[in-house]
Structure 1
Amino acid sequence: MNASTLPVSDTRRDAADQRADRAFRWLVSAAGVLVLVSLVAAALSMLWGGREAFGKFGLSFFWRDAWNPVLQDFGALVPIYGTLVTALIAMVIAVPISFGIAMFLTEIAPKWLRTPIGAAIELLAGIPSIIYGMWGLFVLVPYLAEHVYPWVNDHLGEMPGIGAVFSGPPLGLGMGTAGLVLAIMVIPFISSVMREVFLTVPGQLKESAYALGATKTEVVWDVVLPYTRSAVIGGIFLGLGRALGETMAVTFVLGNAHRLTVSLLEPGNSIAATIANEFAEADSPMYLSSLIALGFVLFMVTFVVLTIARLMLRQLKKREGN
C-alpha cells in the first residue's frame, strides 16, 4: 500500500511524525553544536583578552618566571609549574587510594558495608571546594607544620639527589599541602568511576578464574583490570582535569608565593590561584591581559591533557581490537 492509497488521517499522522522527527534531530544537533561553539568561544575570548600580553612577550610568556605588576613584567612559568606539580602530587596519592576503595567496595566489602561507604564517597564529592580549602588551612596546615614537615625536612631533606624536594621551612603551606588537599578532593570522583566500571565486569569471567584456582589478587590484576582498563584510564584523567582547574582549595593552602622552587614544603603558586587572588587588583591593561592570558594557558593545559587521554584510550582500543 503506497501513500496515495492510505487514509487521509494516516497520511497526516505520518507527515506529523516526520516533522517531529526532523525537529527532534535539529534540536539534539543544536545541543551538540552548542558545546563546540561554547568551547571555541571561550578559548577565543581568552586569547583575545590576553592579546596585549602575548603581543608584548610573545611565546616567551609561557616560560618566563617574572611576575612584577609594578614593572609590568609578566610570565606564566611559575603558575604553570605549580599547577602541574600539585596536580601530579594529587594523582600520585589519589589513584592508588581510589583503586583500593573501588576494589574494596566491589570485591571485598560485605554487602551491609558497601552502602554507607558508597554514600560517604558521594558526600565527599558533593562538598564545596572552599570547605576543603578552609579545612586544609585551619586543620591540615597546622598539623603538617608541627608534626610532619619538620620530620620530612630533617630526614628526607638530607637525602642525596632528592633532598631539595623535601627540604624547606615547615610552614605547612606549600605545594605538598596543596597536592594533598587536591588528592582528597579527587579521590571521590576517581573511586566512583572505578567502582561503577568494576561492577560492569561479567560475573562469569571472575567465577571462571576462581574455578581455575586464581586468588582474589590474580582475579583483580588478570581479569578485572584488563577488562576495564580503558574506562579506568578515562576516570583517572577525569580526576586530573578536576585537579588542574581547582581554584579555591588550592588558593587557601598553596601559599601564593610567585617564585620557582623544587621544594614541596615551600609556598608556590598556580594558574587558578593567581587569577583568583590578583584579578581584582589588576590596575592596568597589561596586568589584566596577563591574567586573562593565564586563563588561556590553563585552558590549553587542560585541553592537552584531555587530548592525551583520548589518544591513549584510542590506542588501547586498537590493541583490544575494537
Structure 2
Amino acid sequence: MTVSTDGQAPRTSDPRRARALPTGLGDRVFLGLTGAMAYFVLALLGAAAFSMFWGGRLAFQTFGLGFIYRSDWDAVNHQFGALVPIYGTVVSSGIAILIAVPVSFGIAVFLSEVAPRWLRGPVGAAIELLAAIPSIIYGMWGLFVFVPFMAGRVEPWLNRRLGSAPWIGEVFSGPPIGIGMLTAGIILGIMIIPFISSVMRDVFLAVPPQLKESAVALGATRWEVMQRVSLPYTRTAVIGAIFLGLGRALGETMAVTFVLGNAHDFSKSLLMPGNSIAAAIANEFTEADSPIYLSSLIALGFVLFAVTFIVLAAAKILLLRVDRREASH
C-alpha cells in the first residue's frame, strides 16, 4: 500500500483490484443474459396466449361471452359452448387432487420419517418412475383394466349405498358403465401422485434435524413433530407441490380421453360420461370441417390456458400471503 502526500486517502496497489472490473463485467453480462432468457420465456407465453385468442376470435365474435357458459355443442348446426368441457376439466381435476393429496402426504411422511434408510431409495425411485410412464399408457390401462373394475365392483356399490342418499344421491347415481368423471378423476389422481409426493418428501427431508430433535426432547410424538414442526416449516413448498399437481391434472389429455366418455352432456352424476377441454380438442380437432368449428376448438384451448393461469396465479398469491404471514410472526 502507498501513502499519498497530498492529504488524500491512500491508494492501494493490490493486484486483486485490477481484476475487479472484468469480474463485474462478467456479472453484468450474466445478469443480462439470464434476464433476456426470462423475458423471452414471458414473451413466448404471451405469444402463445395471443395466438390462441386470435385463432378463436371467430368463436368469441359469434357467441361472445356466451361461449363460456353455453352448454350446447352442436357441430351440425354450428352452435358451440365451453361449459361442459370446463365443468369436466374442473371436476375431474378436483377429484384427482382430493385423492392425490392425502396419498402423497402419506407417502412423503413414510419415506421421510418412518421408512428405514435402506428402503427409502428403492421405494422413492419406484414412485418417481410412475411419473415417467406416458399418459397414453395410463389411458390404456384405465380403459382395459380399471374401467371394468369400476363397472363391476365400485359403481354398483355406489349406486346401492349412496344413490338414494339425500343431497349426494344424484352425484353417485347412474348406469355402472365404468366410464365417467369419477374414473377419470381417479386416473388423474394416480398420475399426479408422483409429482406431489416427490416434492413433499424432498422438503420434509430438508427440515433441519435440530428442530425435530428439539421437539422430540420436549416429549413430542412423531405425528406431533410432523404437525407442529415439519409442516409449518415446509408449508410454502407443500402448497406449491399441490398446485403443481393440479396444473398437471388440468392439462392432461390422452389418459382422460380414454376414460372420460367424451360426451357433451351436462350431468351432476360422477358416474356419467363427460368431457374435458383437452379431451375435446384432441378428439375433434381433425374433424373440424368449418371455420367456426375450428375456431371454437382453438377458443377452448385459450379457455384452458386462462383457467390454468388463474389457478397458478391464485397459488402464487396464496404462497405470497403465507410467506408474508410467516415473516410477520
Find the partner of 1:71 among 68, 77, 81: 77
State the SS of the aligned residue for 1:297: helix
Distance 2:82 2:128 in 1: 35
Does 2:207 align with 1:201? yes
Distance 2:138 2:121 in 1: 24
RMSD value, Cα: 1.9
State the SS of the aligned residue for 1:236: helix
Find the partner of 2:151 among 141, 145, 156: 145
Residue 18 of structure 1, CA deviation = 5.4
Name 2:233's counterpart in structure 1: 227
Residue 16 of structure 1, CA deviation = 5.4
Distance 2:210 2:68 in 1: 52
State the SS of the aligned residue for 1:126: coil
Distance 2:158 2:327 in 1: 47
1:176-191 → structure 2 map (5 Å cutoff): 176-191=182-197
Residue 217 of structure 1, CA deviation = 1.1
Does 2:138 align with 1:158? no
Distance 1:126 1:138 in 2: 20
Distance 1:208 1:180 in 2: 40
Structure 1 runs (4+) deviating above 6 angstroms are none
TM-score, length-scaled by structure 1? 0.95
Residue 114 of structure 1, CA deviation = 0.7
Name 1:251's counterpart in structure 2: 257
Distance 1:161 1:148 in 2: 20
Cα distance change on mapping 1:19 and 1:229 into 2, 3 Å: closer
Bigger CA drift: 209-218 or 296-305? 209-218
TM-score, length-scaled by structure 2? 0.93
1:106-185 → structure 2 map (5 Å cutoff): 106-185=112-191
Distance 1:16 1:64 in 2: 62
1:234-313 → structure 2 map (5 Å cutoff): 234-313=240-319
1:82-97 → structure 2 map (5 Å cutoff): 82-97=88-103
Q: How many residues get paired?
A: 319
Distance 1:312 1:19 in 2: 38
Paired-residue identity, %: 66
Residue 26 of structure 1, CA deviation = 2.4
Which amino acid letter does the alignment assign opposite residue 85 of structure 2? P
Which amino acid letter does the alignment assign opposite residue 300 of structure 1? A
State the SS of the aligned residue for 1:65: coil
Residue 222 of structure 1, CA deviation = 1.0
Residue 227 of structure 1, CA deviation = 0.9
Which amino acid letter does the alignment assign opposite residue 130 of structure 1? I
Residue 19 of structure 1, CA deviation = 5.0
Distance 1:246 1:162 in 2: 27
Bigger CA drift: 206-215 or 76-85? 206-215
